[in-house]
Structure 1
Amino acid sequence: MAGSLVEQRSIDVVPDEERHGTAFSQFTLWLGANLQITAVVTGALAVVFGGDVVWSIVGLVVGNLLGGAVMALHSAQGPKLGLPQMIQSRAQFGVRGAVVPLVLVILMYIGFFASGSVLAGQAVGELTHLGETPGILIFAAVSGLMAAVGYRLIHAVGRIAGVVCALAFVYLGSRLLERADLTALLADAHFDLPMFLLATSLSASWQLAFGPYVADYSRYLPRTTSTRATFWWTLSGSALGSQWSMTFGVLVAATAGGAFMDSQVGYVVGLGGGGLVAAFLYFVIALGKLTINVLNTYGGFMSIVTSVSGFRGRRVLSPRGRAAYIALIMIAGTAVALLGKDSFLTSFKDFLLFLLTFFTPWSAINLVDYYLISREQYDLPALSDPNGRYGGWRWDALAVYAVGIGVQLPFLVTHFYTGPLVAPLGGADVSWIVGLTVPAVLYWGVAGRKRGTEAEPTPVPAGHLD
């Protein structure tokens, strides 16, 4: 139903008569999704772990633009195919083989749901005077309810959050500059390659981790929507929102030190003052996190459905089935949040960087296949047929994916593991660069040659090139 508030579709193709909206909707959604407290914490980590203000900000800009460009290329797939992001992986990995990256994506959704719930739970707990644990539970329930309503509500809340959170960040920024000696912070600039690359990796991983999300929220756009428009509006909204939040986080960490580390939400709200202003800021923090946590719940539910349907062949869900999948993601994410809330800051940094090792190879393979090999055309019915054109398991792509993960390990830096090639590079983490380039080249060589020799049926067009 084109005009219904409650979404009826899950992983099936959105028909042309139900398409609506403009590419600008991607700007408002991703701006709102990134103007939030977790992005502030991500930016702060660049300073907390040793960087200075100037080069941390520059590194974050580089990472947001590079990672955001990759993420926006995924977003541009949505209007052409009318499909959620991860079901497209069946064209590369096979109808059943796609379950391999899907399992990792589901873990990502649960992890981001949990990390967001920790910070939002603090805000909701303060706002309601019920405490952190009830705050986490309330926040999770609202996230699940919104995800059940679906696409239209998600975009509406994104538009509201973008405006409200932008106003709040302008106010908080002015309050922060009253306390900070900005001249002294900017003067203390000393380039350190490992710290610069850490900042770049933090923001790049933030953006790249959105890769499995983005087409979910552009797939209802009309098929004729410009690829360029979808790309640029997505990139600008996501990069602007995240850089704004992360720059604020850098300045907060540089001026607050341990006070911010002890209570991220409490310190940020304290910048604004007490009383009604504090209550409003707690609401803003919860609203910003709600936007992204709904995306985590919604995307997680569709990733589970995609995994199951690859083996069962069923794509249409009943309302009860939809609710059950959403509840599963919500419960799992809430459990992780409650278990990990006391060691959030270090765990979140490691979580971000470790995620990167799994999603950079997936992004590389997906984008090379879609833009360079298939040239924006997929046989859509074959994406549901394990005996069809794409097969059940594409072992060549899975092998490239495994290699893409493996080649990053020598360059990886986390709290629990450091690769052997990190020290010769001065401690710099360049694993994400290796994880993008190596599988892209390998997949182009393996799949490009194979596709070039196959006798393929005429594909269902995914749209027209600009």
Structure 2
Amino acid sequence: MENTKTKSIESVGFEFIPENDRKGNPKELFFTWFAASTVSTTLVTGALAIIIGLSFWWAALAIIIGHAIGATIMGLHSAQGPKLGIPQVLQSRAQFGYFGVILPMLIILTMYFGYGAMNTILVAQGVQETLGFNINLTVIISLIPMVLLAVYGQNIIQKSMKLYTIAYTLIFIILTGLVISQLSMSLLSQGTFTWTTFILAVSICITWQITYGPYVSDHSRFMKVHDARKTFFYTASGSFLSSAWLMLIGAAIATMVVNGNVMSEIKSMGGMVGYSIVILLSLGVLVINSLNIYGAGIIVLSIASNFWTFRTSGRLRVIVSIVIGIVIAFAATAGAGNFMSNFQIYLGFVLFFIIPWSVINLTDFYILKRRYHHEEFMKKDGQFGKLNYKTMGVYLFTIACQVPFINTEIYQGALSKAMSGMDIAWVIGIVIAFSCYTVVTKVTERSSATQVSDMPIASPIE
């Protein structure tokens, strides 16, 4: 395979990356995943812990615990990349079957489109509020650098993320100083503790990290096999530090406002400095959103590879990335008015599909320790089969088991109501997916081994 890192435009999509073509440095992943959460959405999400009733101190504990757990799960996904050398979701052909994996792929693809549109809207709205530019025109213009970064691929994305991290760390240090200067102990102590609100805040942070699970091996597959441990550490630490830091800032700001409008408070608290921070937060998404377009491109190519035999080229990646950019532009301009609220509701439901996928994938790799040759992932009639009905059954059963524990804006499960509104659907998803997949796999393997041992041995004369 041609070297995928020396070409100006990356020429690999769903394919396996040979060890000799992997030129990545695990330290680069720290910057990639630190930068990924340095957006205004992180600040606003951190404010939710205060809005639901916790004091800052309890909110801070929930944020730290939640992100520590979630970042560990995300880091485990990232460490799969160097070992397997293929994109994250494509790895699930080993569990779901060659065609069975299309279902989680399609669900995750809608998540990429949704996040891509949401982030583009954030850019456009921020620019409109501060500079007064037309929102639809800003959406279209802002997508140009996002698509270009995705087209040029891993190498340029990580270089951009490194520069972004350095610049925005300084910005968030300034913002932290502004917030501390206006806080008081009385504000930080307002609020009450209940297990329902505390677990909800922890859940928000865990699921925030888990939504990065489908992304990470797309980037870590460029690392050497022996760098898997470093890959885990740099991915998890980068994501934890930025997410926890910004959500703590968001929670602190939320103690100072009545309506939870964090961005408006930042503009007012710092004069021109606060105003500039809001503009920079909006423009920073131009870099971050390339991750969504890049990941969506890999999913599209992976699905296409199920039906056609082809090899990714730079030209093909350009075409796919542009089409994805057009879809995101349409979603952002057509639905800018109600998109944000509707997408937040949708994301809540997407998580119930992503969590069992994540658990099944990690259980297979780390607990059952099943390993396969990389060529098997590309075979329609290989050892994975076309559709693994047992895994699909576990997947759908887990999703169904989560429903009674859901508490969202449009639906609350019966058991969530019985528990005073507590939402532990993600916990149920982890427990059910892990236990059922482990049992089903071990029973299947034991049955297969028994059948093989019971087969008659042919006589040498026959």
TM-score of the two chains, using structure 2 as the length reference: 0.91
Cα root mean square deviation, aligned:
2.1
Q: 1:257 to 1:378 in 2, by over 3 A?
A: farther
SS at match of 1:408: helix
1:170-189 equivalent positions in 2, closer than 5 A: 170-181=173-184, 183-189=185-191
**What residue number does 1:111 align with?**
114
Summarize the Cα distance change of 1:335–1:49 in structure 2 as closer, same or farther, 3 Å threshold: farther
1:284, 1:408 → 2: CA distance?
Answer: 35
The yes-or-no answer on 1:61 pairing with 2:94 is: no
User: For residues 110 and 345 of structure 1, what CA distance do their matches in structure 2 show?
Assistant: 13
One-letter code aligned to 1:282: I
1:31–1:241: 8 Å Cα contact kept in structure 2?
A: yes
List per-residue Cα deviations over 1:83-117 (Å, max 9, x = no partner).
11011010010111100100000011111112212
What does the per-residue CA deviation read over 1:220-278, in whole Å, with 9 as the maximum and x for residues that have no partner?
A: 011221x32221221111011101111111122221232x53xx54543444322x873
Segment drifting more, 150-159 vs 131-140:
131-140
User: 1:278 maps to which residue?
Assistant: 275
Contact 2:10/2:314 (8 A) holds in 1: no
Match of 1:364 in 2: 359
Does the C-alpha gap of structure 1 residues 452 and 150 become closer, same or farther in structure 2, counting only changes over 3 Å?
farther
* Displacement after TM superposition at 1:386 (Å): 1.9
Q: Distance in 1 between matches of 2:156 and 2:131?
A: 24
Q: Distance in 1 between matches of 2:110 and 2:194?
A: 33
Map of 1:463 onto structure 2: none
Cα displacement (A) at 1:126: 5.3
Structure-2 residue corresponding to 1:240: 241
Query: How many residues matched?
Result: 446
What TM-score does the superposition give when structure 1 sets the normalisation length? 0.90
* 2:374 is the counterpart of 1:393: no
1:408-439 C-alpha deviation (Å, 9 max, x unpaired): 10001111111110122121110001111101
Match for residue 35 of structure 1 among 33, 38, 42: 38
How far apart, in 2, do the equivalents of 1:50 and 1:190 lie?
6
Q: Is the contact between residue 127 and residue 282 of structure 1 (CA under 8 Å) also seen in structure 2?
A: yes
Q: Which moved more, 1:96-105 or 1:154-163?
A: 154-163
Q: Give the direction of change, closer, same or farther, for the CA distance of 1:196–1:350 in structure 2 (3 Å limit).
A: farther
The alpha carbon displacement at 1:454 in A equals 4.5
Aligned-residue offset at 1:50: 3.5
Q: Give CA deviations for 1:56-81 in whole Å, capped at 9, x if unaligned.
A: 22222222111111111100001111
**Bigger mean CA offset, 94-103 vs 53-62:** 53-62
Q: What's the counterpart of residue 222 of structure 1?
A: 224
What SS class does the counterpart of residue 12 from structure 2 fall into? coil
1:366-388 Cα offsets, whole Å, 9 max, x none, are: 0011122244x222111111211
5+ residue gaps, structure 1, are 456-466
- Would the aligned equivalents of 2:88 and 2:214 in 1 still touch at CA under 8 Å? yes
Stretch of structure 1 that moved more, 172-181 or 341-350? 341-350
Contact 1:168/1:281 (<8 A) preserved: no
Distance in 2 (alpha carbons) for counterparts of 1:88 and 1:311: 17
| Contact 1:409–1:431 (8 Å) recurs in 2 | yes
Q: Which protein is bigger by CA-based radius of gyration?
A: 2
Q: Aligned equivalents of 2:152 and 2:129: distance in 1?
A: 27
Deviates more, 1:414-423 or 1:40-49: 40-49
| Shift, 1:209, TM fit | 0.4
Q: Give the superposition deviation at 1:341.
A: 3.1
Q: Percent identity?
A: 31
**Match in the other structure for 2:457:** none
Q: Distance in 1 between matches of 2:349 and 2:208?
A: 11
Q: 1:304 aligns to what?
A: 300
Name the structure 2 match of 1:383: 377
- In structure 2, how many angstroms separate the alpha carbons of the residues matched to 1:194 and 1:281? 33
Give the superposition deviation at 1:33.
1.0
Query: Unpaired runs of 5+ in structure 2?
Result: 450-462
Residue 317 of structure 1 aligns with which residue?
Answer: 312
1:421 is paired with a residue whose SS is: helix
